Amino acid sequence: MVWDAPAVERAIGFFRDVLRLNGGEFEGKPFLLLPWQCFIVGSLFGWKLGDGSRRFRMAYVETGKGSGKSPLSAGIGLYGMVADGEPRAEIYAAASKKDQAMVLFRDAVAMVRMSPALSGRLGFSGGPGREWNIDYLQAGSFFRPISSDDGQSGPRPHVALLDEIHEHRDNTMVEMLRAGTKGRRQALIFMITNSGANRTGVCYQYHLYAADVCAGVKTDDSFFAYVCAVDEGDDPLADPSCWAKANPSLGHTFQTRYLEEQVNQARGMPSKEAIVRRLNFCEWTDAAEHWIGSDLWDRAQADDIDVEALRGLPCWLGLDLSSKRDLTALAAAWRHPDGALSAAVWFWTPGDTLDERARIDNVPYRAWVSEGHLLAPPGRIIDKGHVAQFVGRLAVEHDVQAMAYDQAQADDFLRACDDIGLDAWIDDGEGSGDGLRMIRHGQGFAGYQSASTMWMPRSIGALEEAIVGGTLRVRRNPVLTWNSASAVLLTDPSGNRKWDKRKATGRIDGMVALTMAVGAALALRESVGTSFWES
C-alpha cells in the first residue's frame, strides 16, 4: 500500500477552498474539516493500492447526533462527482425513506448554490427548494437522492452515501448499491449513522464488523470504520467527562449546553432516556422498558458451550410452542455440581413462510437458518412432531429431570409424543409416571407454589438472579439475542412480573422458554416425587 499525501491535501483542500457550509452561524463559511473529519477524508483518499486505485471501498461512520456527518458525506459525494476524474460518475444519497435521503441531498444542493466554484458549473433539476438532481454536464455525471421505497434497480454508483443506516429495514439498499459498483474501479460506499435500537438489524451487523476490523479480530483492508461511543461503564447521564467520546464535534458544531439540556430532560423523563443515550452518546439501546441491561446479557452469553459435553448432568427443559406461525422455542438448562447453570435454546419456524416472515419481523431468518441458529422444517405451521422428536433425543441422551410447559398447545404436543412413541406424563403432584415428566408453568401473574404448577414471576426472578450473579452461561444464538432485546416486563400492583408480548418490540419466545427451563432447574428437586420444590 502507498500513502498518497498529495491526494490527501487535494481532497481536504476541496472542502476548504470549494465548499461552503449552510445553516445558522455557519452559513456561507468555508468548510474547514475538523481533525476527526480530516482523518476520515485523508484515510479514504490517501491510502492507495499498488495499482494506484484506492484501498477503501466501504466506509462506516458512527457518531453522536449533530457531529456533522451529513455535510461531510455530501462533501465527499460532490468531490466524487466533480474532482475525482470519474467519467459519468453516479452519486447517490441513499436512505430507507426518501425524506431521509433528501436531508443529505439538500446539504449538497446548498453547498453547490453557495460555492462560487461550483454554482456556475453544475445545474439542477427541479425548482429552488424542490431539487431532485444535480448534474455536471461536462463529465456526464449526476448526484441524486434514492430510497428503499423507490424500487429502483440498476444504479452504478461511483459514490453511494447511505444515511442513517440504523433505520434501514434490511441490507437490500446496501447490497443493491454494492452490486452496482462492480464496474467502477474507484467506487466508494460511505455509510453514516447514529446508534440504533435493533441489535439484529443491518446497522448493528456493520457496527460489530467495524469493531472487529478495528480491533484486528477480522482482516478487511477495503473496509474503513470510525465509531464513536462512550465506553462500557460510562454513565453519560451522570458524568459529563465522557461526552466527548461519542461527540467528536463537541464545542464546534454544537456546544455543551445542548447536551446538558438533553441529559436534564432524560433525567426528568424516563421515556426519553433511551433516545438520549442512543442519539447523543451512541449507546445501543433495546426496548424502552427492557428487562435487563444488555451488558449483563452479553456477559451471560458464551460461545464455548458444548451440549454433548454436558451429558450426565441433571437437565431441565422449557418449551414454548407456537400457535400458528410464530417461533417455537425449546430451552435446556444443565446444573453443575457447584450450582451453576449452562443453557441452550433451539428455535423452529415454518419453512414455507420464511421470507415473508423475515420481511414482517425485520430479521434475517434465512441467514439464521443457514448458520444453524434456527430450524425451518417445510410447511406453513410448525409440526409438533419435529419438536417432539427433538425433545425425545434430548431425553435419551441427557439426564432430563422434567420439562416445564405452557398449557397452550400442550394437548397437541402430547399427541405428537404418542405418535412417535415418546412416553410423557403430566406431573400434577399426585403420582408418578413413565418417561418425560412434564410440569405446568403458568405464564401470567397468578400461580401456585405447589407440587403441580410453576409460575412466571418466580422464574423471572430466578433467571435475573442467575444472570446478575454470573451463575448462568447461555450458548450464544442471535435469535435468542433478538428475543432478549425485544423483551419487556409487565408488573402488577403486588410487584409480580411477567413477560408482556403486546409491548415487546419483537418475538420473545426464546426468553419465555429459557425462563421456564432456568426456573425449573433452580426450583425443582432432581428426584421424581410429589414434592419437588426446593426448601
Quick: pLDDT tens for 287-320: 445 577 677 888 999 999 999 999 999 999 999 9
Distance (Å, rounded) from C-alpha 121 to C-alpha 112? Answer: 9
- Check residue 147 and give its pLDDT: 87
Q: What three-state secondary structure class fits 253?
A: coil
Pick from 168-177, 178-187, 473-482: least confident: 168-177
pLDDT at 492 over 80: no
Distance, in Å, from the CA atom of 528 to the CA atom of 451, rounded to the nearest integer, reads 11
Could you give the C-alpha distances from 135 to 11, 17, 108, 141, in angstroms and in order?
21, 21, 12, 6
Instruction: Look up residue 288 and give its amino acid.
Output: A
Cell of 515: 425462563
Q: How far is CA 169 from CA 62, 93, 123, 165, 203, in A?
A: 18, 17, 33, 9, 9
Q: Enumerate long-range contacts of 410-417, CB under 8 Å, 24 or more apart.
A: 410/321, 410/438, 410/440, 412/321, 412/384, 413/319, 413/321, 413/384, 413/387, 413/388, 415/384, 416/383, 416/384, 416/385, 416/387, 416/388, 417/388, 417/391, 417/392
Give ranges for CATH 3.30.420.240 in the chain: 295-523
Residue 381, helix vs strand vs coil: coil
- Topology of domain 2-227, per CATH? Rossmann fold (3.40.50)
Q: Mean pLDDT lowest for which of 327-331, 346-350, 393-397, 520-524?
A: 520-524
> What is the pLDDT at residue 232?
82
Q: What is the mean pLDDT of residues 72-78?
A: 97
Question: Does the pLDDT value for residue 417 go beyond 80?
Answer: yes
Query: Which residues, at least 6 apart from 502, have a Cβ–Cβ distance to it below 8 Å?
Result: none
Query: pLDDT for 242-264, tens place per residue?
Result: 999 999 999 999 999 999 999 99
- Residues 497, 500: Cα–Cα separation, whole Å: 9
Question: Average pLDDT, stretch 146-169?
Answer: 83
Return the pLDDT at 530. Answer: 33
CA distances for 93 relative to 108, 132, 158, 159, 242, angstroms: 9, 11, 12, 9, 32
- pTM value is 0.60
Residue ranges of E strands in 39-131: 47-48, 58-62, 90-95, 123-125
Residue 90, pLDDT > 90, answer yes
- Whole-angstrom distance between the N-terminal and C-terminal Cα of the chain? 68
Indicate the pLDDT class of residue 494, thresholds 50, 70 and 90: low
Work out the average pLDDT over 391-414: 91
pLDDT tens profile 77-87: 999 999 999 99
Pairing, β 489-491 against β 497-499: antiparallel
Q: In CATH, which of 3.30.420.240, 3.90.1150.10, 3.30.1300.10, 3.40.140.10 is domain 295-523?
A: 3.30.420.240
Band of the pLDDT at 323, cuts 50, 70, 90?
Answer: low
Q: pLDDT exceeding 70 applies to what percent of the chain?
A: 92
Q: Which of 66-70, 231-235, 258-262 has the lowest mean pLDDT?
A: 231-235
Q: Say whether pLDDT at 527 is over 60.
A: no
Note the pLDDT of residue 112: 96
Residue 470 in this model has a pLDDT that exceeds 90:
yes
List CB contacts of 454: < 8 A, sequence separation 6 or more: 404, 439, 440, 441, 442, 447, 516, 519, 520, 523
| Statement: residue 450 has pLDDT above 70 | no
Least confident of 58-72, 164-178, 306-320: 164-178
CATH 3.40.50.300 residue window(s) in the chain? 2-227
Q: Where does the pLDDT of residue 152 fall: very low under 50, low under 70, confident under 90, or very high at 90 and above?
A: low
Higher pLDDT, 275 or 165: 165
Cell numbers for 45, please give them. Answer: 483518499
Find, among 402, 395, 389, the residue nearest to 438 by Cα: 402
What does the pLDDT average to over 352-375? 90
CB neighbour list of residue 239: distance below 8 Å, 6 or more residues apart:
none
Q: Above 90 in pLDDT, residue 443?
A: no
- Asked if pLDDT for residue 448 goes beyond 80, the answer is no
pLDDT band at residue 510, thresholds of 50, 70 and 90? very high
Residue 278 has pLDDT above 60, yes or no: yes
Q: Are 313 and 292 in contact (CB under 8 A)?
A: no
Low-confidence winner among 24-33, 108-117, 425-434 (lowest mean pLDDT): 425-434
Among 94-103, 205-214, 248-257, 445-454, where is mean pLDDT lowest? Answer: 445-454
